[in-house]
Amino acid sequence: MIDSSDMSEQAHEQNILQLESQAFISQRRQFWTLQISGWMAYALIVFFAIVHPQFEDPDFNLAGQLLNLLVETLSGFTLSYLQWLLIRRIVHLPLKQTLFLSFFSAAVLGLIYNVIKLSCYKVIVYQQHWNQAWNMLEFGGWLLFSLTTMFVWTAIFFIMLYNTKLQKEHEMLLRAQTSAKDAQLQMLRYQLNPHFMFNTMNAISTLIYKNENDKANDMLDKLCEFLRYTLDKNTKPQTTLNKELELLELYLSCEKIRFGERLQLVMQIEPQVLSCKLPSMLLQPLVENSIKYAIEPRKEAGCIEITAKAQGERLLLMVADNGYGQSEKVNQGFGIGMSNTKARLDAMFNGDFEIQMTENDNKGTSVLINIPLEK
């Protein structure tokens, strides 16, 4: 049998790989668009700035000038592509080292580009030897433009790739924070399980002691069903209100066997909030404490009311009972459950929550939880 949590983790990993693949394709498309359009613009600028003004010269070699421009553009295109590949390989290095290597290589490529341009110009346009009649003034004038061209492309590529690197690091940080938050939520939830198991097994032991074996057997079956549900469908630290209520119904089915008509339940749930997110097993410990202090000590029937409704962009959850007051619960240990609840809400919503515990007029207690409405 395949574990649903394993399937979820595999789906999450596949989503991450798919997103990374999409990001790589998008970056590659962006590079080629920029590379092609940039060098076409370069060719047009050189043509109108340098070639076109020479049309009136009687010795003007149009075919040679156009061929030279084509070779110059293609060689620059190739060198800038090599620069892109280099920066991609070193962008993971420390920033200063990446900058130094990037612009050092840009200077080397600019020098090579200048030699190629000047050589092709001599050979193609004037049919001279590739290094014929070179002088420092001519070479230096061409070199300045060649270096500027390579430095501009290097700056563009560096910004593109380094920005992508920062985005990936930010995504990795967010995933690490999410994983840490999920682990914290899971740990806090697991703190509830021993407490719940102890109370339930103690109740079953009490039923057996009273020779109410049928009730004990039924309660044990319901407990197994509850635990099976938590293992199969409720392994994640976060859940929806709908699944939380399903889990709560399984828990209450155990307690109804124990208390019968003494346990009265009223649920007022707005349908539109059933898909809202909340920490797993958020309501169960609150209801468990209400049973402990509102139902168990009384011979007459006790009532627990569960309310869930939307108020603007907030979700309001309330668990109310007509048992002992707030001070009695805190004195007998309810503060531990409350601190666990607060810790899990804080881990999931980063402090964006409110939880209030108040006494009702009938000596009962109400716990009101106010959290963001996330679906």
pLDDT given for residue 362 in this prediction: 62
Q: Rounded to 10 degrees, what is the CA torsion of 103, 109, 113, 115?
A: 110
Q: Which two tokens stand for residue 218?
A: 């039924």
Q: Which of 118, 170, 122, 124 has the alpha carbon at shortest distance from 145?
A: 118
List every span in the chain annotated with CATH 3.30.565.10. 238-372
pTM > 0.75: yes or no: no
pLDDT tens per residue across all 375 residues of the chain: 444 444 444 555 565 556 556 666 778 888 999 999 999 999 999 888 888 887 777 777 788 889 999 999 999 999 999 999 999 999 888 889 999 999 999 999 999 999 999 888 888 877 777 766 667 666 877 888 999 999 999 999 999 888 888 877 777 766 666 655 665 555 555 554 566 677 778 878 888 888 888 888 888 888 888 777 766 655 576 889 998 898 888 888 888 887 888 888 999 999 999 999 998 878 888 888 888 878 888 788 888 999 999 999 999 999 998 876 655 554 444 555 677 778 878 878 888 999 988 887 667 888 999 999 987
Is the Cα dihedral 166, 151, 53, 66 positive or negative?
negative
Architecture of domain 238-372: 2-Layer Sandwich (3.30)
Q: Which residues contact 331 (CB under 8 A, 6 or more apart)?
A: none
Place of tokens 């959850």: 317
pLDDT given for residue 113 in this prediction: 94
pLDDT given for residue 39 in this prediction: 95
Instruction: Please classify residue 262 by burial: count the beta carbons closer than 10 Å to its beta carbon, then call 0-12 exposed, 13-18 middle and 19+ buried.
Output: middle
